[in-house]
Structure 1
Amino acid sequence: MDKGVLEVDHNSALKHQVHELYTQFLHQQQLQEKLEGEAFLEEIRESVSEHYNFHLTEIHVLSCIGHTEPINLTAIAEKMGISKGNISKINSRLLKEGWIRKSQLNDNKKEIYFRLTPMGKKVFSMHEQYHDRAHQLFNRFISRYSTEQLEFMKQLLQDGITAIQEGQLLVTAPELK
């Protein structure tokens, strides 16, 4: 058999294996996110509020506010990529339960801004600690790779993000129909 044909066959098989591993990775990531999210929400219930059942989106809104307070509704919606209507509903619940408060700036009494209450700051702090732990675990995991391998991973992920944003990886793309 021709060497070129063998290389094509090997390359094709390797691409198939990479796709299978990528699919497994995504499934494992989804499962892990679900389990970790549930565990984190339970940790918040036990530590901060047994009577309020947070949704992860509410935690992320608190985090967004905590990172940039004071912040208005439009800025929260833009930073999170969620509609202003949904942010308004979430903020209404968070206000009602005492996790955030409204404020106004001295030079602009018309615009409403949001800040964390002491209870909201506790949840924000727990969320930050959670992400710090995740960052440490990830750094420990990738420390086995060389600088060159990390550069390749970085490029692969950047290319993947671009391809997703441009719709190149949509299974329902017109060229597949």
Structure 2
Amino acid sequence: MNSGAIESRQFRRAMGKFATGVTIVSYVNEARPAAMTANAFMSLSMDPPMVLVAARNPSRFAGAVGAGQRIGISFLREEQEMLSRHFGGQPDLQLASPFRLDLAVPVIANALVQIVAKVHNVFPGGDHLIYTAEVERLEEADGRPLLFFSGKYKQLHALDPLECWKDHASLL
């Protein structure tokens, strides 16, 4: 166990071993849709329904979004990796707009989950800002999530639970 100062490269590598889903956090900036890829997302509260998102400070998002504003959060499907790359700093200039509006907030069309939330508070957290937001709208669909692990995109390969039980039962 490292008891001294933690090197940023080691910290980044270790945190990368925590598998996450991939979200696109969207907002309106100068009357146009804007977005960023984020995996620093989590549910925060069930009552009221709230979520938490962290954004690098400074970033365009941090400069444009504050308390009282609405944001969109879209959980990506495994076939939407190109959107994650596009909004994560590798823009595809040929990409058509992937947005649809919900309560005048851009969300990713055909995403696994689409959330519209109103920012409640913004807190400093090291080199990031932490946004807490109350969920106002929520839509979900079936599909497989896009995952991120150890600096790479991954796909979920799970067995059908009914098949798993059947396999174990046949061993008895």
**Structure 2 length as normaliser, TM-score?**
0.23
Bigger share in helix: 1
Bigger share in strand: 2
